């Protein structure tokens, strides 16, 4: 088999890249090792920057997002028992949209299949070969048979634990920071008791009140990195949430889990004819809600770069891909780290806790400080795209 771009991974990065390439008239095949139902149900974050929504609209995959997404115009910072509103739209003219990542994945997958793009699920033993040549190959198993896909380019969109980055691990520098805590996240059948998100600083640790719809709440608690979900009964979760967040509407919990908090960047994001995008190249702690938005930004840059390379033989944008993408990646690293450090119990004792309160108070009282937070949170305007 032959295609122009072999895309590994059917997450937001791989699927959005496939949609963009198709618009540019470039063929691609998407290989995903999980089954479709698993990928479409996997619970992840759910906050889209306006940049991301605008791109999905241009791609014609935003009908359901426009119907069901919740437009938000600010966030509450909560500390010392009171909420302080940061009016993102007033400060930046931009807004954010709450819409689950798996919903984005469902919409993109269906759109690609409707347009005849091949998305192969349950592909096993994916391996990359000859990436330093002009004809890189992917070998994989599918439906009980071995296959080989020869490409012009391979896009490694296979997330943090994928194979693509491993293939070039001897050629990258890794920048890494692991936080000594995790987030316990739940989904509950409960109408959110807040109109917009609440990011809470509390003596017991950070908490976040977010949502998926007017009927489904998503809530998070800072817990120790090595804590076990078995230690957290539903009663204990609700009690800790109401201690940290104040008024919380309870309901049936239908999903719960603990996620580690980590910052990671691999540089460069390319080698020969392999280009990494999304979580395969970088991850951020979820406090700034940047993971999905960064993945989409990478492919916004990668699609035209690959099109120039393949259709015109012009390598300039492809050669500049890492530099172009990393600008936004490091900005997001810094912002996610800033939000994380301001709101979590970092274990540094009372002096550090007072410093955090001073920082929060500054955001609540100073328009300049609030605007700086807001422009990062809603996302600095994206480069003009395709
Ligand atoms: N072969 C094929 N597919 C693979 C392989 C492999 N060896 N390894 C992983 N995958 C698939 C995963 O099953 C997943 O569907 O690659 C996909 C990667 O998708 P994501 O992890 O969602 O990564 P990405 O598309 O970069 O999106 C980043 O995802 O983790 C969240 O918070 C993060 O919002 C961010 C977003
Ligand atoms: C979510 O809705 O899951 C969410 C929102 C904001 C964050 C992290 C997660 O910062």
Of the bound ligands, which one is closest to the alpha carbon of residue 208?
Answer: 2
Return the pLDDT at 364.
97
For ligand 1, say whether the CB of 126 is within 6 Å of any of its atoms.
yes
Q: Which two tokens stand for residue 164?
A: 């693509």
Measured between alpha carbons, how far apart are the two ends of the chain, in Å?
Answer: 28
Ligand 1 closest atom vs CA 31:
2
Tens of pLDDT, residues 323-365: 999 999 999 999 999 999 999 999 999 999 999 999 999 999 9
For ligand 2, say whether the CB of 287 is within 6 Å of any of its atoms.
yes
Find the 72 Cα to ligand 1 centroid distance in Å: 27
Q: Which residues contact 271 (CB under 8 A, 6 or more apart)?
A: 131, 132, 168, 171, 172
Return the pLDDT at 241.
98
Please list the alpha-helical segments (H only) found in the chain.
12-23, 36-41, 50-58, 63-68, 88-92, 101-114, 164-167, 234-245, 291-307, 316-319, 321-343, 350-365, 367-378
Mutate which of 39, 162, 281 for ligand 1? The one with the most ligand atoms within 8 Å of its CB, which is: 162
274 SS3 class: strand
Find the 158 Cα to ligand 1 centroid distance in Å: 4
Ligand 1 closest atom vs CA 140:
1
- As a whole number of angstroms, the distance between CA 176 and CA 197 comes to 28
Find the 197 Cα to ligand 2 centroid distance in Å: 8
Q: Which two tokens stand for residue 202?
A: 């509390």
Return the pLDDT at 386.
44
Q: Which two tokens stand for residue 221?
A: 């608690």
Ligand 1 closest atom vs CA 292:
34
Return the pLDDT at 383.
75
Report yes or no: 56 and 62 within 8 Å, Cβ to Cβ.
yes
The string of DSSP codes covering 80-137 is: TTEEEEE-HHHHHS--EEE--HHHHHHHHHHHHHHTT-EEE-S-EEEEEE-TTSSS-E
For ligand 2, say whether the CB of 46 is within 6 Å of any of its atoms.
yes
Return the pLDDT at 76.
98
- As a whole number of angstroms, the distance between CA 95 and CA 73 comes to 5
Residues in the chain predicted with pLDDT less than 50, given as ranges, are 386
Which position among 73, 202, 282, 290 bears the catalytic label? 290
Find the 159 Cα to ligand 1 centroid distance in Å: 4
> What is the strand order of the sheet 207-211 is part of?
82-86, 75-79, 197-200, 207-211, 216-224, 173-189, 252-267, 282-283
- Residue 175 is among the residues annotated as catalytic for this protein: no
- As a whole number of angstroms, the distance between CA 263 and CA 277 comes to 16
**Nearest residue by C-alpha to atom 29 in ligand 1:** 292
Report yes or no: 171 and 134 within 8 Å, Cβ to Cβ.
no
Return the pLDDT at 314.
97
Q: Which two tokens stand for residue 172?
A: 């990258």
Find the 124 Cα to ligand 1 centroid distance in Å: 15
Report yes or no: 273 and 152 within 8 Å, Cβ to Cβ.
yes
For ligand 2, say whether the CB of 47 is within 6 Å of any of its atoms.
yes
Summary count for the chain: helices (H), strands (E): 13, 20
- Residue 290 is among the residues annotated as catalytic for this protein: yes
Mutate which of 220, 285, 294 for ligand 2? The one with the most ligand atoms within 8 Å of its CB, which is: 220
Report yes or no: 262 and 176 within 8 Å, Cβ to Cβ.
yes
Ligand 1 closest atom vs CA 280:
26
Return the pLDDT at 182.
97
Return the pLDDT at 385.
54
């Amino acid at each position: 088999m032959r295609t122009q771009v072999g895309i590994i991974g059917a997450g937001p990065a791989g699927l959005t890249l496939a949609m963009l390439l198709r618009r540019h008239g470039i063929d691609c095949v998407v290989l995903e090792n999980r089954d479709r139902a698993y990928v479409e149900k996997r619970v992840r974050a759910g906050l889209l920057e306006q940049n991301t929504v605008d791109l999905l609209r241009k791609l014609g995959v935003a009908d359901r997002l426009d119907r069901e997404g919740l437009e938000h115009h600010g966030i509450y910072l909560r500390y010392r028992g009171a909420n302080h509103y940061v009016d993102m739209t007033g400060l930046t003219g931009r807004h954010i949209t709450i819409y689950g990542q798996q919903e984005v994945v469902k919409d993109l997958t269906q759109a690609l299949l409707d347009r005849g793009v091949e998305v192969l699920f349950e592909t096993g033993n994916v391996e990359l070969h000859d990436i330093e040549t002009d004809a890189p190959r992917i070998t994989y198993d599918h439906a009980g048979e071995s296959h080989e896909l020869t490409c012009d380019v391979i896009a490694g969109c296979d997330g943090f634990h994928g194979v693509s980055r491993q293939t070039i691990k001897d050629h990258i520098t890794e920048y890494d920071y692991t936080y000594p805590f995790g987030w316990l996240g739940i989904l509950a059948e409960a109408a959110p008791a807040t109109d917009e998100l609440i990011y809470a600083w509390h003596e017991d640790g950070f908490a976040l009140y977010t949502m998926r719809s007017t009927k489904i709440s998503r809530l998070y608690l800072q817990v120790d990195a090595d804590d076990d979900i078995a230690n957290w009964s539903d009663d204990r979760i609700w009690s800790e949430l109401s201690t940290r967040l104040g008024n919380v509407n309870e309901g049936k919990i239908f999903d719960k889990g603990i996620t580690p908090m980590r910052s990671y960047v691999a540089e460069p994001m390319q080698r020969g004819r392999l280009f990494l995008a999304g979580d395969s190249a970088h991850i951020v702690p979820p406090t700034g809600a940047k993971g999905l938005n960064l993945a989409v930004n990478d492919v916004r840059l990668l699609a035209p770069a690959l099109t120039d390379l393949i259709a015109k033989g012009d390598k300039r944008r492809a050669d500049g891909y890492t530099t172009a993408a990393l600008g936004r990646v490091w900005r997001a690293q810094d912002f996610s780290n800033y939000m994380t450090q301001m709101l979590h119990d970092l274990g540094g004792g009372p002096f550090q806790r007072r410093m955090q309160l001073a920082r929060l108070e500054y955001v609540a009282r100073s328009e300049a400080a609030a605007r700086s937070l807001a422009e990062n949170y809603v996302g600095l305007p994206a480069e003009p795209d395709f």
